[in-house]
Structure 1
């Protein structure tokens, strides 16, 4: 017995957008016993598995083309206009669980596009949210993950800048500053979700308070990879796990303190299960 003192970070776990999507899915599954979801409802295999056992079926956009007369859930990341158009054509009832923060951002980008502004989006290439944002511009906006992707000398002298909602606030404003220093007039739209962006600051404090940090996240979660790195920078004894099976006893010593935290896509029940497991070591 290691006699570990284990605490869970109260700020970790699902953001409100993910909570909203999962609650909607659970309500329909209780009523109908089956529901399609376009893409993983959350980037966490354990949570997806739990919902699949209740009747959730994950589909991709290719499969969507062949489905008719059914209910399909749109997850928190949102979707481009083409998905809504296809749903109309195929008599699909869309259960729209798009995060309100994402929907607001989509609307603002659409307004900018209608005004024929030159739109740049700071975000991850191919990310589901970014695909939805690009769709508001008929895929005419420029997406970049890092300033190195852009030729600052060739950039238009006036641009409208947006960001994926889960990006770092500090990095977003650093980008703004560099663009302005290079003579580019930037119409800045800060649409970053503070519930997500503040997690890194909270975790920096949390990670320093324990001997060992167990970071719980799905391997597909971009947010998880970023926040794990934040914890690792503060506490070298930080370990990434996706399930109880990943936990190794050799990480711990007698009477040590252990902090459990996770991404915005990490379910609290999973962190609680890992806590119970550690307390039995």
Structure 2
């Protein structure tokens, strides 16, 4: 059996940066909470919990004044961030710089009088955070008539192809006077899209490794499935449930919040299985 691993796997810069910021606080023996999942990956969250880090969903802990709060890489609304800084001893904001650039771009364009339309998923944490910067932003994945003066942006983890398809269809049904289009999709996720296509064309089966609640990982699974047989798993152990008997070439791609160690484990498990068969 042949295994093809995409050139770019494991953490992206934003996730690596977030985890390094957290580790610096762990090293100082701080009491740490995270506001929701820092990233969308089960093994990463489990690793943080093993370090004694607790995940908050809504309730503020009684020891907040003596604790550190970590803001997830997706960001949070500005007012909420200010409130957390008032409550906790220290707040570590791990918002990805690329995500923050989207927030700042949307805010700047809004101040210039543009109606902000963002191609994205309304309930995604990144988009919820964005709505705290531009309250009347329109977040949608369905083409809509554009306003007279519009600026179209994208959630950073969306498909580049689908973004431009959305834009094209929206323009077709619109009567605007001024339009600004700014591609705010992360270059790293866009690069992994093209690599996924390359791997899929050479493989009988593509295994997409990463969180199923991860937008960029789910996007890769969708892309690969349009080319070849594809399975999306969250952890290496799940490969034991996949029938590999008729597979000659397996491709492996990952989301940007998937640890490189998981890629190594997955590859080893596949090779060990074939040796036993």
Q: TM-score with structure 2 length normalisation?
A: 0.89
SS in 2 for 1:197: helix
Residues 65 and 122 (structure 1), Cα distance of their counterparts in 2 relative to 1, 3 Å cut: farther
Which runs of structure 2 are paired with 1:105-254 in the superposition (5 Å)?
Answer: 105-137=102-134, 139-147=135-143, 150=144, 152=145, 155-181=146-172, 182-184=174-176, 185-236=178-229, 238-248=230-240, 251-253=243-245
Unmatched tracts of structure 1, length 5 or more: none
CA distance in 1, matches of 2:119, 2:65: 35
Contact in 2 for aligned 1:180/1:186 (Cα 8 Å): no
Residues 180 and 260 (structure 1), Cα distance of their counterparts in 2 relative to 1, 3 Å cut: closer
Is structure 2 residue 83 aligned with structure 1 residue 90? Answer: no
Residues 65 and 110 (structure 1), Cα distance of their counterparts in 2 relative to 1, 3 Å cut: farther
SS in 2 for 1:14: coil
Deviation at 1:91, TM superposition (A): 4.1
SS in 2 for 1:125: coil
Provide Cα deviations, 1:216-267, integer angstroms capped at 9, x if missing partner: 121211222221121122222x222222332236622378332222112211
Q: Match of 1:276?
A: 268
Residues 89 and 31 (structure 1), Cα distance of their counterparts in 2 relative to 1, 3 Å cut: closer
* More contact order relative to length (CA 8 Å, sep ≥ 6): 1
SS in 2 for 1:247: helix
Contact in 1 for aligned 2:236/2:265 (Cα 8 Å): yes
Deviation at 1:174, TM superposition (A): 2.7
Deviation at 1:25, TM superposition (A): 1.4
Contact in 1 for aligned 2:4/2:199 (Cα 8 Å): no
Provide Cα deviations, 1:84-122, integer angstroms capped at 9, x if missing partner: 221233144111111111111211222223334321111
CA distance in 2, matches of 1:250, 1:221: 21
CA distance in 1, matches of 2:125, 2:242: 37
Contact in 2 for aligned 1:44/1:218 (Cα 8 Å): yes
Is structure 2 residue 44 aligned with structure 1 residue 53? Answer: no
Contact in 1 for aligned 2:40/2:211 (Cα 8 Å): yes
Residues 76 and 128 (structure 1), Cα distance of their counterparts in 2 relative to 1, 3 Å cut: same
Deviant stretches of 4+, over 4 Å: none
CA distance in 2, matches of 1:50, 1:233: 33
Unmatched tracts of structure 2, length 5 or more: none
Q: Match of 1:267?
A: 259
Deviation at 1:205, TM superposition (A): 0.5
Matched pairs, number = 270
Q: Match of 1:42?
A: 39
CA distance in 2, matches of 1:162, 1:92: 35
CA distance in 1, matches of 2:246, 2:82: 59
Residues 69 and 83 (structure 1), Cα distance of their counterparts in 2 relative to 1, 3 Å cut: farther
Deviation at 1:269, TM superposition (A): 0.7
Contact in 2 for aligned 1:119/1:159 (Cα 8 Å): yes
Is structure 2 residue 85 aligned with structure 1 residue 78? Answer: no
Q: TM-score with structure 1 length normalisation?
A: 0.87
